[in-house]
Structures are given as C-alpha cells and as structure tokens.
Amino acid sequence: MSEYRIEKDSMGELQVPESAAYGAQTQRAVNNFPISGITMPVSFIQALGLVKQACANANHDLGSLGENHRRAISSICDDVIDGKLMEHFPLDVFQTGSATSTNMNANEVIARLASQQAGDAIHPNDHVNMSQSSNDVIPTTIHVSVALSCHQQLVPAMNHLISVIDKKASSLEHIVKTGRTHLMDAMPVSLGQELSGWSAQLSAALSHIERTLPALHQLAIGGTAVGTGINAAPSFGDLVAVQLSNSTGLTFKSASNRFAALSSQDAAVALSGQLKTLATSLMKISNDLRWMNSGPLAGIGEIALPALQPGSSIMPGKVNPVIPEATAMVCAQVIGNDATITIAGQSGNFQLNVMLPLVAYNLLQSIEILSNSSRLLADKAIQGFTVNEDNINAALSKNPILVTALNTEIGYELGAKIAKAAYAEGRAVIDVAEEMSDLSRKQLEKLLDPKELI
C-alpha cells in the first residue's frame, strides 16, 4: 500500500499522507510553514468544531443544507469538539495571518470524514464552509474559545484562589508581624491584613476581567469576506450565534458592526491587558511568599511553605519555594504575551486583521497558565504554609519603628533618637523609651502594644 494518496485543489495535485483526514490545502500549509512546530491550541480547534457545527445547523435551518449532510457534518464536528481528531490538525501557529489554512484544515477534515459517514460527497468549501469565510470564522472562533476558557477555567480558578486566601487570612488575624516598606522595617500589621491585600488585588483583577467578557460574546460570523456578508443570508450570523449559545450555555450575539469585528481584535487586546494586570498581582503575591519564606535561618523566615521536592542537586536538605517561582515565570510569560497581542491587534489592515493565529495562541496560553498556576498557588503554597511565630515575635519586639506610635506624645525628634538607640543597642523600643522619655512603663505598654497598633 502507498503511504500517500493524490489530492488536488484549485492549484493542482500533490501528495497527502494516506492516513491523513485533511486534503490538499492543508498539505500545502504543512509544506509552506515548517516554522515552530507549535500547533493551534486544542481549545481553539474544539471551538472551531463548535462554530462549524453551528454553521451547518444554521444553513440547514435556512434550507441551504440537506438533512443528511447536516447530520454527517454535525457528527464529525462532535468528534472535533471532543478533541478526538487533533492528529489531523498539524498546522503551525505561524501561518497565513487570517488562519485560512486552519479554517480549510477543519473544512477538509470534516468534509472527508462526513462524506464517509453520509455515503455522499460533502465538499469542504461548498458544504462545510457554506455562508462563511475564514475572515469571519477565525475571529468568531477566537472569541468563542477565549470566552469558554475564561468561563470554564480562569474565573473558577481565580475564585478558588481568592477563597483560599480569605480563609487563610481569617485564620491568621491574631498574628501581628513587622510591616515592611522599601523592604525595611515599618509599623506592624497582622498577617490577616497582609493577606487581605492579596485578596483585594485579585478580586479587583477578576472584576476587571469579567467586565471585558461581554465584548467577547460579540461574534464576527455572518460578515464573510470583508464584513458585507457576501454569500450569506442576512440572518445567518444571528442564527449561528443562537446555535452557539445553545451548545455552550453562554450568550453569544452577532456583532453590531461586522467591519470592526473582522478588522480589529480590540476585545482580545482588552482582555489581554486585564490578564497582564492579574499577572502583575500574582507576581507581587508570589514574591511576598518567597520573601516571607526566605531562610529558613538566614532570611526572614516568617512562614514555611509546604516542602514539595528537593531543592538542590548538590546541597542536601535544601527546599525551595517552587510554586511561587513557577507562578512568577507564568506572570512573566503572560506579560510578554500581552506585548505580542498588542502588536498583533495593531495589524488590522483595512478589512482584516492578519495576525489572528498569534492572538489566539497567546491569549489562550495566558488564560490556561494563569488558571493552572492560580490553583497551584492556592493548593500547594498558600493553603498549607505554616507560621513561625517565634521569628515573627522576636523581630516585632525589637522593631525600632514602633516608636512611631509615640510621635503625638514625645515628638518626631525624640522618637528618632529612641529608634536609633534601640537599633544600635539591639534592645526593645519600650526599654529605651522608658529611659529616654517621661512616659511611664504602663503608658508605654499601652501605646506600644502591637495589637493596638494594627
């Protein structure tokens, strides 16, 4: 048996692997773009299956596609949606900027397999791509895949992380520690207060993300080649949006202006910006955890993160803060992805954006790695860290900045002298203040009580 078969398209004939479900146009793209070996994300291809299925159903409702063809196309789309056919989607992310190659990849795979199932010829362009263009299918698929990923992955992961932080903060309200500004000793805070700041940051980031999602529910489908809707019924886009809403549980609508929907990726750029903000917050939280965990003897040593794995190939017994480190790297990647998506968003030349595969890949990657790292940060770092109260109390008792609480009684100048003396002598502020001020021990105990200062 030959390892190849001959397929043809409008440009002529070429060899296609016998086992491949795709055809000539996909093979041309395989030949033309051996660039990175990075294929389109699984979630994008699954969403493309949803879009193709919705289009087939809409065309059937309009009387343009027979029931036998609709049923067969829909059945194969189910396999695409379930991720069963990924080996037939080999194309590189770095391809034609409209992702026409990926659209035709889907059309060819669905048409070939649906033809076998229906016992009838189903054409990739005339049937599977009916009433569509790559120029509206791919922007639509970006929105559908990203909206689903946010609703199914990111939002639940963020809510979980916030919940874990809030629970941990509540359990640590009674522990007072030295606050730090500029990495230097400052007035005290409770650990609960410190963690409440993390929760507030993440809650704000989540709120901003959720406010961008309605724009992603607006779909380009029905605009076809340039936004005018050539070769599609006027109601086609609305019907597809209804079909997608029914199949996903999200509320999709046809875009109010399809020229903008084809030529811009503003909704994707806006979401990416909010993901960058979330990454910034997670970077701050990860670095706080790393500092608090530092040591355990020569660092701050306020907490001990769960020991997950040996930390060194040469130093026995070393354990590192691996989850915060991994999260920080995720944040760096997401911030870089945002720069890429911003540049891609500027590439809407006249009626079409021509960096669509890049937008899809980077945005879906950002959502996936933020979702996964947020759950890991919650479950393998924050939930299980323990507190070293002895270290915290020892540092707090000698914190010279506590003298700030005496400002209204003794003034800034004398307070500064007491703080410097306490630091130089390694003594508690209360002892030095008792010697250098007119305040009684009882007054000082009340004024310098760390629990009262928070």
Q: What is the chain's percent helix, strand, coil content, to nearest 5?
A: 65, 10, 30
Whether 69 is catalytic: no
Closest listed residue to residue 104, CA positions, set 192, 198, 22: 22
Rounded Cα–Cα distance for residues 221 and 227 (Å): 9
- 312, 313, 347, 440: the active-site residue: 312
Q: Are residues 106 and 54 in contact, defined by beta-carbon separation less than 8 angstroms?
A: no
Q: How many C-beta atoms surround the C-beta of residue 100 within 10 A?
A: 18
- Tell me the sheet residues that pair with 219: 254
Cα dihedral across residues 131, 133, 134, 135: positive or negative:
negative
Of 2, 10, 182, 313, the catalytic one is 182
The H or E element spanning position 304 is strand 303-304
Nearest to 261 by CA among 93, 143, 107, 104: 143
Q: What is the largest CA-CA distance in the chain?
A: 101
Active site residue 190: no
63 sits in the region (left: phi over 0; alpha: psi -120 to 50; else beta) called: left
Catalytic residues: 182, 312
